[in-house]
A = this chain, B = another copy of it.
Amino acid sequence: MERTEIESLGEFGLINHLTQNNETVQASTLLSVGDDAAVIDQFGKQTVISTDMLVEGIHFDMMYTPLKHLGYKAVAVNVSDICAMMATPTHITMSIAFSNRFSVEALSEFYEGVYAACNKYNVDLIGGDTTSSQKGFVISVTAIGEVTNNQFVCRNGAKENDLICATGDLGAAYIGLQILEREKRIFLENPTIQPSLQEKEHVIGKILKPEARLDVVEWLIENKITPTAMMDISDGLSSDILHICRQSNVGCLIYDEKLPIHSQTKEMAMEFGLSGTSCALNGGEDYELLFTIPQSDYDKIVLSEKISVIGYITTAEESYQLITKQGNKHKLVAQGWSAF
């Protein structure tokens, strides 16, 4: 039998390969595989569904991830996918597999985080599965949300001249992860040295306990702003904006100087010999929202401190460009986070 390595396709190539013959038959299926979430028609309103799996050693390291934070994050990143459709999260299911090195107390701590996130985002935990694993902790969450008929926002609606917006700040989670990995190495070499995490709360908080930007979705709805395209930034801005561009058949122009980067991110990036810009472009796991709006909505969006305009949509022919602070043009290349 032929053997094709998964690496040769990459994550998105693999998904395309596995779903290329996926035909839907239910009339209620409005949107299937390929966006942040799927959409099902439900008799007047619409249901949005998304699912995410977190695997120990791939997505998190138990050595520096408090279980309560992990439970919170597992919910938040799924809620984030629902938010990325401009929908309101309502329910989640949570399945976990864990080895016998876990105690009941450890699982209770994990669930404390789960419930804290449910409480924060006003979602109900309505089901799940608990099972053992031979090795490692695996978490699978499915999130469900609702949206007024046809008000959900996909990745494929960006139009030429639309403004590109990002929420919060970018690159912090990536730098937070670098710090945790460094402290882990130091600890493993010399367990008596205490980790130095002072004045790094923001970047470490972003990797250990990210928040879904439900607040921004609610603000957009309140202010009657409907993005033309939207997704959440989980793989890194440069990778994720290309999803919007390719699915919308447009290009983009991003301004380096407009990228929202926290001062802690910049400082720590320097310590690691990186630039804040490269963290913002290529670092993953920010779980901020990336969306496009018509220029006519600029006056409304400028009122929000939570939202930065970082560039605009061009024609597909103009490709994907970054304008540096010196005014040079570079081609944006997806080199974000990869789980493979």
Q: Does the CB pair B25–A339 fall under 8 Å?
A: no
Contacts of A103 in B (CB 8 A): 3-6
Of all chain B residues, the one with the shortest Cβ separation from A110 is B18
In the assembled complex, A2 has its CB within 8 A of some CB on chain B: yes
What is the copy number of this chain in the assembly? 2
Given A38-B93, A51-B93, decide whether A33 and B3 contact each other with a Cβ distance below 8 A. no
> Is the CB–CB distance between A57 and B134 below 8 Å?
yes
Interface segment out of the listed A122-130, A181-189, A242-250, A321-329: A122-130
Is A65 interfacial (CB 8 A cutoff)? no
Among residues of B, the one whose C-beta sits closest to the C-beta of A142 is B142
Chain B residue nearest to A5 (CB atoms) is B103
Query: Does B42 contact A43, Cβ atoms closer than 8 Å?
Result: yes
Bound-complex Cα distance A184 to B334 (A): 46
Whether, in the assembled complex, A178 has its beta carbon less than 8 Å from a beta carbon of chain B, the answer is no
Could you say which of B6, B108, B126 contacts A100, with CB atoms under 8 Å apart? B6
Q: State the majority secondary structure of interface residues on A.
A: mixed
A144 within 8 A of partner (CB): yes
Q: A4-B103, A32-B125, A126-B24 are in contact. Are A111 and B18 (CB under 8 A)?
A: yes
Contact among B5, B29, B133 with A58 in the assembled complex (CB-CB below 8 Å)? B133
Is A11 close to B, CB under 8 A?
yes
- Residues of A within 8 A of B (CB-CB), count: 79
Known: A14-B104, A91-B40, A105-B4. A127 touches B49 (CB 8 A): yes
> A197 interface residue, CB < 8 Å from B?
no
Shortest A242–chain B CB gap in Å is: 19
Give the contacts of A19-74 with B (CB-CB under 8 A): 19, 21-22, 24-26, 28-29, 31-33, 37-38, 40, 42-45, 47, 49-53, 55-59
- Complex CA gap A47/B124 in Å reads 14
Q: Does A140 contact B (CB under 8 A)?
A: yes
Chain A interface (Cβ < 8 Å from any Cβ of B): 1-9, 11, 14-15, 17-19, 21-22, 24-26, 28-29, 31-33, 37-38, 40, 42-45, 47, 49-53, 55-59, 90-91, 93, 95-97, 100, 102-105, 107-108, 111, 115, 122-136, 138, 140, 142, 144, 339-340
